[in-house]
Amino acid sequence: MTEQPAEHPLTGQPPSKIVAVHVSYRSRAMERGRLPSWPSYFLKPPNTLAASGTPVLRPPGCELLAFEGEVALVIGTRASRVSPADAWRHVRWVTAANDFGVYDLRYADKGSNVRSKGIDGFTPIGPGLLDAAALDPERIRLRTWVNGELAQDAVSGDDLLFSYPEIVADISRLTTLEPGDLILTGTPTGSTVVRPGDVVEVEVSREGTAQDRTALSTGRLRSPIAEADYELSPPGAMPAADDAQREAAYGAGGGPGPSGSAAELLRAVSRVSTATLSSQLRKRGFNALTLDRLHATRPGQKMAGFARTLRYVPFREDLFTTYGGTLPGGGLNAQKRAVEQVRPGEVLVIEARGDSTAGTVGDILALRAQMRGAAGIVTDGAIRDSQALHAMDMPVYYGATHPAVLGRRHVPWEVNTAIACAGVTVMPGDIIVGDGDGVIVIPAHLAAEVARDAAEQELQEEFAAAMVTKGESVDGLYPLGKRWRPAYDAWRTARDDEGSGQTS
């Protein structure tokens, strides 16, 4: 006999609905190879709820049972067409969840996940509840362990493409959220396949000091994995796994753990210069990824972030009348929408066709981007209010300055699409790095290896500079040749020992 679903932690009754986000973490989107322009959703039935400690049963014939550690939001007050600014006050509790699914049955329902994720007990939640009012939605930490080994580790403000308030507001535009409803907010990279005998644990806590996390933590949501003892027979779709489903199910969790996070990628590329990054990309056959002829408001400040793209088309009176201001039926034009969508750790990259005879961004919108945590702005057109932009902490790279407004030359057209900025194709999610030498684009799938090899190159160049200072010739030294390799290895060992405080 099937166990009854767990009672709701707030009302004691199952929620009216469980809404789940398909992809909301950048690290997961990079793993999937696509960057969504907005969140998309599916529904999980209340029969999937389970308490901590309840076994999750892998259905007969299935091999691809995957976990997805998630932050769950529990709605406290009715939410209908609420704004992002007001959305968080409608959330009463935050807890841990695990959005289990079997990839063997994903094909059966064409994206609705009814059979793959609607199985009894496939949404464990708990064990504790955190008061949403005591949490900063940008500093919520999610961690998942499999058999005691850390598999997922993400902080909301560092990795989310869409903030929790934005998700609540978006759902409420068309679907009223009732008290007790659950929102599963998506999973970061690290989700992978588990098997009977494994134990998966998920914890949600307030990011900060160890004392903060201890004081505000859900505790670990524990889910032992077991084999189901019932039979699954036709009629109806039967489990079917192929190589494509196996690749999707294992994901990045089949390889490196959370060290491959989006935040770590940005830290890695920030440690090296654009000149070195350009050299490493050239070695890989990429010779056209520098954004040329741009100026910088803060050339001494490093900029690194993921691309959030905005495209302008040439000015046309009727199109600007329709798309330049408030859109038909209400809503922001593409320029303002891009600014309101930009997230911490992103760079707003603007295609203006190199036309510098009208402004593409001014002080108010640039300030708004800075307040939203943007790492920078890059435009191949002109900026307005240049003195104010130069005074900002956020770096801006631009083609020229011009006093005229947008509508002289440009129509704001679309966001989060492939663009051409300063002669370079920029995809949403590419990594943009800028410094005193200029701006460069790094395809996200190359970033980790490029950053690693760039760091090694800069060490070799530091060694070469030290030797040249002592009077050595660059022959065989720069680039490093076999003759100098033993000396370099010894120098690096001594340098590492010095840095770690060791003595020989």
Residue 69, pLDDT above cutoff 90 = yes
Average pLDDT over residues 260-265: 71
Quick one: pLDDT at residue 258?
Answer: 35
**Cβ-contact 424, 381 below 8 angstroms:** no
Q: Which residues are annotated as a binding site?
A: 362-365, 384-385
Among 227, 253, 279, where does a domain finish? 253
Quick one: pLDDT at residue 255?
Answer: 37
Sign of CA dihedral 322, 35, 445, 366: positive
Q: Which residues are annotated as a binding site for Mg(2+)?
A: 385
Quick one: pLDDT at residue 328?
Answer: 65
Q: What are the backbone dihedrals phi and psi of residue 156, each rounded to the nearest 5 degrees, phi first? A: -55, -50
Share of the chain above pLDDT 70, in %: 92
Q: Which residues are annotated as a binding site for substrate?
A: 362-365, 384
Residue 329, pLDDT above cutoff 80 = no
Residue 47, pLDDT above cutoff 90 = yes
Examine the domain organization and report whether 92 and 146 are in the same domain.
Answer: yes
Examine the domain organization and report whether 328 and 190 are in the same domain.
Answer: no
**Cβ-contact 281, 446 below 8 angstroms:** yes
Examine the domain organization and report whether 430 and 458 are in the same domain.
Answer: no
Supply the mean pLDDT for the chain.
90
CATH number at residue 101: 3.90.850.10
* Strand 382-383, strand 359-361: pairing: parallel
Q: Note the pTM of the prediction, 2 decimals.
A: 0.74
Average pLDDT over residues 321-335: 80
Kindly give the interhelix angle for 334-341 and 363-371, rounded to the nearest 10 degrees.
30
Examine the domain organization and report whether 358 and 495 are in the same domain.
Answer: no
Q: CA 412 to CA 499: how far, in whole Å?
A: 51
Size of the chain, expressed as the number of residues it contains: 504
Average pLDDT over residues 80-86: 94
**Cβ-contact 215, 38 below 8 angstroms:** no
Q: Using one digit for the tens of pLDDT, what is the confidence trace for 289-302? A: 999 999 999 999 99
Quick one: pLDDT at residue 361?
Answer: 96
> Quick one: which of 50, 90, 98, 54 has its CA closest to 74?
90
> Over 31-68, what HEC string results?
HHCCCCCCCCEEEECHHHEECCCCCEEECCCCCCEECC
Q: CA 400 to CA 357: how far, in whole Å?
A: 8
Examine the domain organization and report whether 159 and 48 are in the same domain.
Answer: yes
Average pLDDT over residues 267-296: 95
**DSSP state, 157?**
H
Is the peptide bond prior to 486 cis by the omega test (within 30 degrees of 0)? no
Examine the domain organization and report whether 171 and 226 are in the same domain.
Answer: yes
* Residue 265 is assigned to a structural domain of this protein: no
Examine the domain organization and report whether 22 and 54 are in the same domain.
Answer: yes
Examine the domain organization and report whether 437 and 351 are in the same domain.
Answer: yes
Tally of structural domains, the chain: 3
Residue 148, pLDDT above cutoff 90 = yes
User: What angle is formed at CA 106 by the lines to CA 94 and CA 73, rounded to 5 degrees?
Assistant: 10
Examine the domain organization and report whether 74 and 220 are in the same domain.
Answer: yes
Examine the domain organization and report whether 248 and 305 are in the same domain.
Answer: no
CA 68 to chain centre: 15
Average pLDDT over residues 121-150: 95
Q: CA 88 to CA 65: how far, in whole Å?
A: 33
* Strand 400-401, strand 303-314: pairing: unpaired
Among 226, 253, 280, where does a domain finish? 253
Examine the domain organization and report whether 233 and 295 are in the same domain.
Answer: no
**Cβ-contact 129, 10 below 8 angstroms:** yes
Structural domain boundaries enclosing 225: 18-253
Residue 504, pLDDT above cutoff 60 = no
pLDDT tier, 503 (very low <50, low <70, confident <90, very high otherwise): very low
What the block records as the tokens of 83 is: 């704004």
* Residue 1 is assigned to a structural domain of this protein: no
* Residue 105 is assigned to a structural domain of this protein: yes
pLDDT tier, 209 (very low <50, low <70, confident <90, very high otherwise): low
Of 44-53, 187-196, 198-207, 325-334, the least confident: 325-334
* Residue 447 is assigned to a structural domain of this protein: no
**Cβ-contact 259, 190 below 8 angstroms:** no
